[in-house]
């Protein structure tokens, strides 16, 4: 039954945030200091950086992280980098050459090395958070004012098998509204107002990317999505991740045939009676099944589709708030060290957007418009299964 199933793992361009290198978070002896994020899909990664990006970021992490942090805020000569990283010159030159081939660093006419994408240090993240906080309050107020209407609409369109609002509120508001409709509205307004054309260079237009240091002020929010196809049937899995969840890495593999089979055996109400033993174990390993019950909400796509017109309306209003205050983001870039050697601000602007999302969700949780985020979030929190085709 499952041999011919087409399995895909996709991310919608400019609507989701992907932590590409989960292996960076799996070294228990020496936790990763940096995580790498993109705004888009894997095909675009290959176009901008090359196919070997994942390999070098995982296999060479211990030596690459000190290099990137050494030149995060200003270009340095190879000798200065060697002094800071304690790497032998031969090893350092090898890594710089490889990073240059992947368009992650560049050498200027003064023989100094600089990053080509922002490496946001903890100190710089603190400043970005401070800059984005007033805007986050304004956006949160706009979302909060519309939240009762969204809740009421869900109650009127939900099917008998759909979960309660409190079980899917983070899906609707965090993913569909903030990281979906609002971001989409911002991107459209960027184009209409000429912001995109002015601040994004060719590479950033392909796919924005950035590194974030995992420090005290670490801040970002995004969603991964995975599509599974069985003929005309579809299942979609969303996973929220970022600072508000204290979750950095995602353990789902979108090409896992066992997980795919399990998703199509679930009942509309999330029943697991038809799952095989292997499928049960796969979901247990993900943290989705506990005490022989599915702990992940299952929602019908037709219910989601019924919500989307209102979600899009609220997202557009919230996006207008961001664009009206967009000079705050440009000012933050102009005053950052990155503006001195990264002449296009597209990557940095995307950092600010996703920090903004994190701060908006913090605001909504603190005012109880949203339920609180567990700290840290268990593996089954912020995971949602959609049955059917989301329009």
Q: If DSSP codes are grouped into helix, strand and coil, which group holds residue 170?
A: helix
- In the prediction, which pLDDT does 9 show? 28
- In the prediction, which pLDDT does 249 show? 61
Confidence of residue 391 (pLDDT cuts 50, 70, 90): confident
Residues 217-226 have a mean pLDDT of 91
**DSSP secondary structure of 6-23:** -B-----TTT--EE--GG
> What tens digit of pLDDT does each residue of 253-273 get?
777 899 999 999 999 999 999
Average confidence score pLDDT of the chain: 88
Round the CA-based radius of gyration of the chain to a whole number and report it: 21
> What tens digit of pLDDT does each residue of 60-116 get?
889 999 999 999 999 999 999 999 999 999 999 999 999 999 999 999 989 999 999
pLDDT above 90: percentage of residues in the chain: 73
Nearest to 139 by CA among 327, 318, 310: 318
Residue linked to tokens 């045939």: 257
Check: CB of residue 16 under 8 Å from CB of residue 224: yes
Nearest to 387 by CA among 280, 259, 269, 255: 269
Residues 300-311 have a mean pLDDT of 97
**DSSP secondary structure of 79-110:** HHHHHHH---HHHHHHHHHHHHHTTSEEE-TT
Burial degree of 54 (CB within 10 A; 0-12, 13-18, 19+): middle
> What tens digit of pLDDT does each residue of 158-184 get?
999 999 999 999 999 999 999 999 999
- In the prediction, which pLDDT does 21 show? 40
230 vs 6, which has greater pLDDT?
230
- In the prediction, which pLDDT does 14 show? 31
State how far the alpha carbon of 150 is from the alpha carbons of 173, 213, 305, in Å. 9, 36, 13
CA atoms of 335 and 195, how far apart (whole Å): 18
Give the start-end residues of each E strand in the chain.
Answer: 18-19, 34-38, 76-77, 105-107, 112-115, 119-120, 209-213, 221-230, 233-242, 289-290, 293-294, 298-300, 383-387
Q: If DSSP codes are grouped into helix, strand and coil, which group holds residue 223?
A: strand
CA atoms of 294 and 273, how far apart (whole Å): 10
Check: CB of residue 310 under 8 Å from CB of residue 153: yes
Confidence of residue 3 (pLDDT cuts 50, 70, 90): very low
Axis-axis angle for helices 61-70, 89-101 (nearest 10): 80
Domains delineated in the chain: 18-120 (1.10.10.10)
Of 33-42, 129-138, 299-308, 321-330, which gets the smallest average pLDDT? 33-42
| pTM for the model | 0.89
Q: What are phi and psi of 370, to 5 degrees?
A: -115, 150
CA atoms of 309 and 297, how far apart (whole Å): 22
pLDDT of 283 above 70: yes
> What tens digit of pLDDT does each residue of 28-51 get?
446 788 988 988 877 888 889 987
Q: If DSSP codes are grouped into helix, strand and coil, which group holds residue 338?
A: helix
Confidence of residue 375 (pLDDT cuts 50, 70, 90): confident
- In the prediction, which pLDDT does 193 show? 87
Of 23-32, 194-203, 294-303, which gets the smallest average pLDDT? 23-32
Q: If DSSP codes are grouped into helix, strand and coil, which group holds residue 38?
A: strand
Check: CB of residue 356 under 8 Å from CB of residue 349: no
pLDDT of 228 above 70: yes
């Amino acid at each position: 039954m499952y041999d011919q199933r087409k399995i895909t793992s996709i991310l919608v361009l400019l609507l989701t945030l992907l932590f590409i290198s989960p292996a960076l978070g799996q070294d228990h002896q020496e936790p990763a200091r940096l995580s790498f994020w993109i705004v888009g899909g894997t095909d675009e990664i290959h176009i901008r950086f090359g196919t070997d990006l994942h390999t070098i970021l995982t296999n060479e992490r211990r030596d690459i992280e000190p290099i990137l942090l050494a030149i995060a805020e200003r270009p340095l000569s190879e000798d200065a980098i060697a002094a800071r990283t304690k790497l032998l010159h031969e090893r350092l030159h090898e890594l710089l050459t490889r990073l240059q081939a992947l368009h992650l660093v560049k050498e200027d006419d003064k023989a100094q090395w600089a990053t080509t994408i922002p490496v946001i240090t903890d100190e710089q993240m603190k400043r970005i958070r401070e800059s984005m906080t007033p805007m986050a309050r304004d956006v949160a107020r706009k979302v909060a004012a519309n939240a009762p209407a969204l809740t009421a609409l869900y109650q009127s369109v939900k099917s008998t098998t759909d979960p309660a609002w409190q079980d899917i509120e983070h899906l609707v508001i965090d993913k569909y509204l903030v990281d979906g409709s609002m971001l989409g509205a911002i991107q459209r307004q960027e184009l209409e107002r000429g912001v995109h054309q002015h601040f994004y260079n060719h590479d950033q237009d392909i796919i924005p990317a950035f590194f974030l240091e995992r420090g005290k002020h670490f801040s970002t929010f995004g969603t991964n999505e995975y599509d599974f196809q069985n003929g005309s049937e579809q299942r979609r899995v969303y996973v929220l991740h970022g600072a508000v969840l204290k979750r950095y890495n995602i353990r789902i593999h979108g090409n896992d045939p066992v997980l795919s089979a399990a998703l199509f055996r679930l009942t509309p109400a999330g029943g697991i009676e038809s799952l095989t033993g292997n499928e049960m174990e796969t979901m247990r390993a993900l943290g989705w099944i506990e005490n022989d019950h599915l702990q992940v909400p299952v929602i019908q796509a037709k219910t989601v589709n019924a919500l989307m017109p209102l979600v899009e309306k609220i997202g557009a209003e919230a996006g207008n708030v961001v664009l009206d205050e967009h000079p705050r983001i440009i000012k933050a870039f102009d005053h950052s060290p990155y503006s001195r050697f990264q002449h296009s601000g597209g990557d940095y602007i995307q950092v600010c957007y996703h920090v903004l999302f994190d701060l908006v969700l913090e605001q909504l949780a603190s005012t109880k418009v949203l339920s609180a985020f567990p700290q840290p979030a268990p593996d089954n929190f912020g995971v949602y299964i959609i049955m059917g085709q989301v329009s």
